[in-house]
Amino acid sequence: MRFTVVTILPELIAPALAAGVVGRAITGGLLTLATVNPRDFTSDRHRTVDDTPYGGGPGMVMKCEPLVAAIEHACGDAPARRILLTPGGAPLDQARVRALAQHEHLVLVCGRFEGVDERVSETSIDEEISIGDFVLSGGEVAAVALIDAVSRLVPGVLGEPASVEDESFGAGLLEYPQYTRPLEFRGRAVPEILTQGNHGAIAKWRRRESLRRTARRRPDLWTRHVPAPGDAKLPTAPELDVASRTHVALVHHPVFDRNNQVVTSALTNFDVHDIARSAQTYGLAGYFVVTPVAAQRDKAEHIARLWQEEGGEHRAQALAQVRAVASVADAVAALDPKPLVVATTASEERFANLPRDTPASLVAHLQDQPGRPLLILFGTGWGMADHLIPEPERVLLPIRAHTSWNHLSVRSAVAILLDRLFGRRT
Ligand SMILES: C[S@@+](CC[C@H](N)C(=O)[O-])C[C@H]1O[C@@H](n2cnc3c(N)ncnc32)[C@H](O)[C@@H]1O
């Protein structure tokens, strides 16, 4: 397989690939590595490859003519896949690496400065690839990373082809933990199962660890993972695990009214009923109705009972989750161990000193605290009087759409956030 790197800093490429399995494959002739310098395709004394951007702005942009001439030279007459390394490209993953390994010749074009004139891409590039959501000072390190990953899949480059199948991302999962001698290190022993020679049991353990690690560390991979037949008894989706420890609380006091006065809002039948059904749908552990008014708490429980008696079996199950308590502190005290309390708000200004979470980052945060309950507070009225509610440790970012209208009902907000937290994405 051939790699040709188009770069104004060719001295960065060969040394980075000179050692290890890739270096051996180059020396052994399995891989061919070459560079082409766009400066060799300039006509001025300074060998200029960049110019100021049209429209102004900082930095310089790589010019079309020398770069396109260099790409054309790099391709020659045989077919080649022309790739621009850029942070704006499609993220490189193992599936893409596998597809790239099918090509005979990859031409890898490295940007420098502020990037490359768009018309280079439009006229002379087959695909744009990014190696991650961060900005490098040039495409060379990205090209080296891509060459390394693709080379490992070229037959003969790795000693043992089977190791490629087993690795992280081979089946859309992270790899299981690996151990070698010594048997014990700083008080930590190698898992016993790996030392007993039962290969069936070892394979099962590795599969389970691979699933568990992916579920905990990479929710993005996990939601896309299609379970194999034997996987059914392995870990549940992280969302379901966190949902089963989650309680919602509908707070009627202390909340603001339209004049920014702290008040106690009145209970509504639909809030009791609809939020209980949402909580049940997403597999939550419970639903607190929070009001300091004893008559309102009685009313909440009365409503829940009525729906249980008259609403059929499904509704009864959902409404059985409703519990009325006098304060947020009482809801917290009802949970053991101590829950992580998370506020919700429609306004960026409320709970302004707390760390802010997206639904995905909140689920990931809870995954790192196995068994800890989550209590999510929703305000009625004009939202919770944050200065009077000290319990929350974090806050979920407000729900936003592409309009400036920002007045969802609390029932809708609960449903939307529960779906973003725990809904299935596939
Ligand atoms: C300083 S960067 C230019 C960044 C550009 N102004 C932007 O914001 O997208 C210079 C060059 O480094 C390379 N580069 C930087 N980050 C990269 C990444 N994450 N993946 C692939 N190439 C990258 C590209 O070739 C890019 O043209």
Q: Whose CA is nearest to atom 9 of ligand 1?
A: 87
Tell me how far the alpha carbon of residue 68 lies from the centroid of ligand 1, in angstroms.
Answer: 18
What pLDDT, on the 0 to 100 scale, is given for residue 191? 93
Q: In sequence order, what are the beta bridge partners of 290?
A: 251, 325
Mean pLDDT, to the nearest integer, of 48-55?
96
From the CB of 136, is ligand 1 less than 6 Å away?
yes
**Residue range 82-117, pLDDT digits in tens:** 999 999 999 999 999 999 999 999 999 999 999 999
Residue 40 — left, alpha, or beta (φ > 0 → left; ψ -120 to 50 → alpha)? alpha
pLDDT value at 64 more than 60: yes
Cβ of 283 less than 6 Å from ligand 1? no
Q: What is the mean pLDDT of residues 317-335?
A: 96
Q: Residue 200: its pLDDT value, please? A: 93
Nearest atom of ligand 1 to the alpha carbon of 62: 27
- Residue 232, pLDDT score: 59
Q: How confident is the model at residue 235 (pLDDT cuts 50, 70, 90)?
A: low
Q: How many A from CA of 348 to the centre of ligand 1?
A: 32
In the predicted model, is pLDDT for residue 166 greater than 70?
no
pLDDT at 4 over 90: yes
Q: Name the pLDDT band for 161 (thresholds 50, 70, 90).
A: low
In this prediction, residue 233 has a pLDDT band, given cuts at 50, 70 and 90, of low
Q: Is the pLDDT of residue 53 over 60?
A: yes
pLDDT > 70: what percent of the chain? Answer: 96
* 247, 289 Cβ separation under 8 angstroms: no
The pLDDT-based confidence of 296 (bands split at 50, 70, 90) is: very high
User: Is pLDDT larger for residue 19 or for residue 167?
Assistant: 19
How many other C-beta atoms lie within 10 A of the C-beta of residue 348? Answer: 12
The CA distance from 328 to 290, in Å, is 7
Contacts of 284 (CB under 8 A, 6+ apart): 243, 244, 246, 247, 248, 321, 418
Residue 162's pLDDT band (boundaries 50, 70, 90)? low
The tokens describing 86, both together, are 């850029």
Q: CATH number of 239-422: 3.40.50.720, 1.10.1040.10, 3.40.50.2000, 3.40.1280.10?
A: 3.40.1280.10
Distance 126 CA to ligand 1 centre (A): 17
pLDDT tens-digit profile of 115-138? 999 999 999 999 999 999 999 999
The answer to whether the bond into 339 is cis (omega within 30° of 0) is no
pLDDT at 168 over 90: no
2-151 and 239-422 in the same fold: yes
**Cα of 207 to ligand 1 centre, how many Å?**
37
Ligand 1, pocket-test mutation among 7, 63, 64, 136, most atoms within 8 A of CB: 136
Alpha helices in 46-133 (DSSP H): 64-75, 94-100, 118-124
Q: Does the Cβ of 86 fall within 6 Å of ligand 1?
A: yes
Domain boundaries defined on the chain: 2-151, 184-235, 239-422
Res. 5: pLDDT tops 90: yes
Grouping H, G, I as helix, E, B as strand and the rest as coil, residue 383 is coil
Residue 106, exposed/middle/buried by CB under 10 A (0-12, 13-18, 19+)? buried
Contact predicate 193/209, CB 8 Å: no
Q: How far apart are CA 371 and CA 293, in angstroms?
A: 32
Average of per-residue pLDDT values in the chain: 93
Q: Is 128 in the pocket of ligand 1 (CB under 6 A)?
A: no
**Cβ pair 315, 277 in contact under 8 A:** yes
| Residue range 243-281, pLDDT digits in tens | 999 999 999 999 999 999 999 999 999 999 999 999 999
Domain 2-151 indexed as CATH 3.40.1280.10: yes
275: which residues sit within 8 A by CB, 6+ positions away? 248, 250, 287, 378, 410, 411, 414
More confident residue, 292 or 159: 292
